[in-house]
């Protein structure tokens, strides 16, 4: 078993991942404040935190700082951030719980599949469809956090439209992961 050095744990990419996890309670608290400025602050904060996912992966690969800890924490942080925000938006903005259940169910299923595959020495890497799903999730959550009219735009309905796309990509990419899993296990 690989022993992690202090440098690996405290690397910038891992630090950004940990910040993403630590930001979740702050987002959960802020999303329930109703004063007009809080949705704007919360949406911008969520978006900045979500963008660290792209930044930490880029830095880890570019600087040769990919670690076992990072491989574990990065997808966990992403899923925790998205799932926590979506669950909070059910009571905070009235988004349909069934949509959140579909998306969360996909996340749990794909994580389980990847874990089973990894235990067999098989790597099922992230697909382009999964990346699109994430982009739509982040965009929809950001707009749903805003939830009200700013600059004559009703961000709630735009966010709901994007959430439909996120859910569609979640289902399609989930099916794609299952196909890849079955292909790898059977062959």
Convert the pLDDT of each residue in 2-56 to its tens digit: 554 554 556 788 888 899 999 999 999 999 987 888 999 999 999 999 998 888 7
pLDDT tens track for 162-172: 999 999 999 99
Q: Which domain holds residue 71?
A: 6-186
Q: Is residue 13 part of a domain?
A: yes
% residues pLDDT > 90 (the chain): 52
Owner of token pair 């439209």: 161
Q: Is residue 150 part of a domain?
A: yes
Q: Are 89 and 145 in contact (CB under 8 A)?
A: yes
Q: Is residue 1 part of a domain?
A: no
Closest CA to 78 of 24, 3, 118, 36: 24
Q: Are 155 and 88 in contact (CB under 8 A)?
A: no
Q: Are 122 and 185 in contact (CB under 8 A)?
A: yes
What Cα–Cα distance (Å) separates residue 151 from each residue in 40, 41, 56, 155? 12, 16, 33, 10
pLDDT of residue 1: 45
> Cα torsion at 126, 137, 71, 174 (round to 10°)?
-40
pLDDT tens track for 66-124: 777 777 788 888 999 999 999 999 999 999 999 999 999 999 999 888 888 878 888 77
The domain tally of the chain equals: 1
pLDDT of residue 65: 73
% residues pLDDT > 70 (the chain): 91
Give the domain CATH number at 71. 1.20.120.1760
pTM of the model as a whole = 0.88
């Amino acid at each position: 078993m690989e022993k992690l050095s202090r440098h690996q744990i405290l690397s910038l990419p891992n630090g950004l991942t940990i910040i993403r996890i630590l930001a979740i309670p702050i987002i959960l608290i802020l999303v329930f404040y109703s004063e007009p400025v809080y949705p704007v602050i919360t949406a911008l904060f969520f978006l900045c935190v979500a963008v660290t996912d792209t930044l930490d992966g880029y830095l880890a690969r570019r600087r040769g700082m990919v670690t076992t800890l990072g491989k574990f924490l990065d997808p966990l942080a992403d899923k925790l951030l998205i799932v926590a925000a979506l669950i909070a938006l059910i009571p905070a903005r009235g988004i349909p719980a069934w949509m959140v259940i579909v998306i969360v169910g996909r996340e749990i299923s794909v994580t389980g599949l990847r874990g089973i595959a990894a235990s067999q020495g098989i790597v099922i890497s992230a697909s382009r469809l999964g990346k699109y799903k994430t982009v739509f999730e982040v965009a929809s959550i950001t707009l749903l956090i805003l939830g009200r009219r700013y600059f004559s735009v009703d961000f709630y309905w735009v966010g709901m439209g994007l959430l439909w796309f996120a859910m569609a990509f979640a289902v399609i990419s989930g099916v794609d992961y299952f196909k890849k899993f079955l292909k790898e296990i059977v062959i």
